[in-house]
């Protein structure tokens, strides 16, 4: 269960003008009505009726600029996300209602605390990042998460809102031997948070390049003197990925 995606107003504005609202709504697995409502809440203009048809026909179209945010308005937009394909109609409808409610919340609005959320966040804060920069928890009684350190504070805000939205639809967050999951009288839904990582090959900084070149000169000198014993052990190490 993929849970939420977070955007700035500028990022969401670009998305709204990148494809028809009906298509974008399907990407988020919510209705286009809900998507329009989120746009209105955050003051984001969207293409008027017929705009995409005119553009497809090669006609000149005008894109409405993004206005300044209203004073006090949240600077982040949270879209609770997921897929309906393998769910019953009732569960899909309940999930969409919960998803819309989670997405409509104000980022500055505090949701009631939950012990599973509190324990999960506390555990994440103690974890060390893996070689790809993510911290993971999956023990019993915790929400299964794999996120970057910079996302933990954001997660501490999002998770209580998701739990609250789910509870309004009759789903409670429960634990056991496995990780926490949502459960109603008739349905059980697995629940996890996974953050995607985009990595780029590390490019040596000027200081790192200076160290590497110094080692190469030392290596070349050792080769001329047949003194290879310790040269390779002295080679400076740099990260492979950023």
Cβ proximity of 13 and 65 under 8 Å: no
Q: Give the model's confidence band at 83: pLDDT under 50 very low, under 70 low, under 90 confident, else very high.
A: very low
What pLDDT was estimated at residue 203? 83
Residue of 238 and 91 predicted with greater confidence: 238
User: What DSSP state is assigned to residue 121?
Assistant: H
Average pLDDT for 64-70: 90
| Cα 39 to Cα 74, 76, 78, 134, 240, distances in angstroms | 13, 12, 12, 31, 41
Reduced to 3 states, what is the DSSP secondary structure of residue 146?
strand
Q: Is the pLDDT of residue 116 over 50?
A: yes
Q: Is the pLDDT of residue 43 over 80?
A: yes
Residue of 29 and 102 predicted with greater confidence: 29
Nearest to 44 by CA among 80, 4, 74: 74
Query: Residue ranges per domain, the chain?
Result: 1-105, 110-198, 201-242
Distance CA 12, CA 159 (A): 21
10 Å CB burial of residue 58 (0-12, 13-18, 19+) is: exposed
Whats the size of the chain, residue-wise? 242
Average pLDDT for 172-194: 83
User: What DSSP state is assigned to residue 149?
Assistant: G
pTM (2 d.p.): 0.45
What pLDDT was estimated at residue 222? 74
10 Å CB burial of residue 30 (0-12, 13-18, 19+) is: buried
Cβ proximity of 236 and 208 under 8 Å: yes
């Amino acid at each position: 269960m993929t849970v939420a995606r977070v955007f700035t107003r500028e990022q969401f504005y670009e998305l709204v003008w990148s494809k028809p609202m009906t298509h974008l709504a399907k990407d988020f697995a919510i209705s286009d009505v809900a998507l329009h409502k989120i746009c209105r809440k955050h003051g984001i203009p969207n293409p008027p009726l017929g705009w995409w048809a005119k553009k497809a026909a090669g006609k000149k179209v005008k894109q409405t600029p993004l206005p300044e945010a209203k004073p006090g308005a949240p600077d982040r937009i949270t879209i609770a996300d997921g897929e309906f394909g393998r769910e019953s109609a009732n569960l899909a409808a309940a999930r969409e209602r919960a998803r819309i409610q989670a997405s409509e919340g104000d980022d500055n609005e505090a949701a009631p605390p939950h012990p599973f959320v509190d324990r999960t966040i506390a555990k994440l804060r103690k974890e060390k990042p893996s070689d790809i920069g993510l911290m993971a928890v999956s023990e019993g009684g915790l929400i299964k998460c794999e996120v970057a350190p910079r996302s933990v504070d954001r997660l501490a805000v999002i998770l209580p809102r998701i739990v609250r939205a789910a509870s309004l639809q009759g789903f409670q967050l429960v634990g056991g031997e496995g990780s926490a999951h949502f459960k109603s009288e008739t349905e059980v839904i697995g629940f996890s948070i996974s953050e995607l990582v985009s990595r780029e090959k590390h490019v040596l900084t000027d200081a790192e390049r200076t160290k590497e070149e110094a080692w190469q000169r030392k290596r070349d000198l050792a080769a001329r003197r047949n003194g290879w014993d310790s040269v390779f052990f002295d080679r400076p190490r740099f990260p492979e990925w950023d």
